[in-house]
Amino acid sequence: MNRDLPQRPEPLPAPTTDAHTHLLSTQEFSGLPVAELIERAAEVGVHRLVEVGCDLPSSRGAIEIAQNHPAVVACVAIHPNDAARAGDRLPAELDALEALVADEHVRGIGETGLDYYRTRDDEGKRLQKHSFAAHLAWAREHDLAVVVHDRDAHADILDVLDAEGVPDRFMMHCFSGDADFARQCLDRGAWLSFPGTVTFKPNHALREAFDLTPDDRLLVETDAPYLTPVPLRGRPNASYLMPWTVRFLAERRGADLAGFCRLLDDNATALFGGWGDDG
């Protein structure tokens, strides 16, 4: 059943990329087929999407979507909370995930990282760090981008990155830190990806982090079906709603909207490589 997704916004004046979305979850929530969700995004100028896995089924699903839709590339991972819940099963799950990494449609490893909001026990944190390190190793071996999930774990994220070796290309998905943490990530070469939460009125610190992010390290994402931007906050999200966030940020930066769209598109290419429909 369609759960009343919002109407389409005004199309963007130039094509751009949703740097992090979950089409499978959006499909499950909305009842709309993946193909229609991709088409809706393209109709408003979001012509490319990064479909991100969080466990074995969704990682396999991300690859299948990318195989069938050239506008999509895949990322594969075991989400940190899933790593913590796996317990003794984690080594086997990591082995199974590693078998997916070499697929040609996989352009990133993630979302991986640390989440101390839902996982607070020491053993769960240990498993998350072990999983994060394994994902970082695969990214180095296969020259892939890393999509980092960080929730309430800023210091430990940096500690693991420094200990394991900072990846050549990595993005801080759904960036949630302040300006000081943004500088620490940028100093390590990160791309910072901003979701709809940057439009929420109380999030002044997040907007300050955006303000200091260089143009060539900036991405925008939906994390759909979550984190719907103002003025649709509280309703289900989808990639075709990303123009609300893009317009908000372009206006804040005083940037030409078409040029800002192309900038985000170029940055996604720099991080993930080309898409099947490029050119």
User: 14: number of CA atoms within 13 Å, CB side?
Assistant: 14
Percent of the chain with pLDDT over 70: 98
Arithmetic mean of pLDDT over the chain: 96
* Residue list for the binding site: 20, 22, 111, 149, 173, 223
Q: Let me know: does 227 contact 237? Beta carbons within 8 Å.
A: yes
CA distance 110 to 53: 7
Alpha-carbon dihedral sign for residues 163, 86, 143, 242: negative
For residue 74, pLDDT over 70 is answered with yes
- The tokens describing 171, both together, are 């993005």
| Band of residue 4 on the pLDDT scale cut at 50, 70, 90 | confident
Collapse the DSSP code of 1 into the 3-class scheme (helix H, G, I; strand E, B; otherwise coil) and give the result: coil
What structural domains does the chain harbor?
16-272 (3.20.20.140)
Q: Which of 34, 20, 63 has its CA nearest to residue 195? A: 20
In the block, residue with structure tokens 């939460």: 197
Q: Let me know: does 140 contact 167? Beta carbons within 8 Å.
A: yes
| Band of residue 3 on the pLDDT scale cut at 50, 70, 90 | low
Distances (CA, A) of 45 to 8, 10, 250, 265: 11, 9, 15, 11
Q: Let me know: does 188 contact 161? Beta carbons within 8 Å.
A: yes
Query: Residue range 27-42: average pLDDT?
Result: 96
CA distance 260 to 38: 21
pLDDT digits (tens, 9 = 90+) for 90-139: 999 999 999 999 999 999 999 999 999 989 999 999 999 999 999 999 99
In the block, residue with structure tokens 């919002």: 6
Percent of the chain with pLDDT over 90: 95
Q: What is the pLDDT of residue 183?
A: 98
Please name the residues in contact with 94: beta carbons below 8 A apart, sequence gap of 6 or more: 78, 131, 134
CA distance 170 to 35: 28
Query: Residue range 264-271: average pLDDT?
Result: 98
| Band of residue 1 on the pLDDT scale cut at 50, 70, 90 | very low
Q: What is the pLDDT of residue 279?
A: 44
| Band of residue 22 on the pLDDT scale cut at 50, 70, 90 | very high
* Residue list for the binding site for a divalent metal cation: 20, 22, 111, 149, 173, 223
Query: Residue range 151-176: average pLDDT?
Result: 98
Query: Residue range 220-249: average pLDDT?
Result: 97
| Band of residue 179 on the pLDDT scale cut at 50, 70, 90 | very high
Threshold 0.95, pTM exceeds:
yes
Per-residue DSSP letter, 112 = E
Distances (CA, A) of 74 to 67, 81, 195: 9, 20, 19
Nearest 5°: the CA angle 271, 261, 105 is: 35
CA distance 15 to 30: 24
| Band of residue 76 on the pLDDT scale cut at 50, 70, 90 | very high
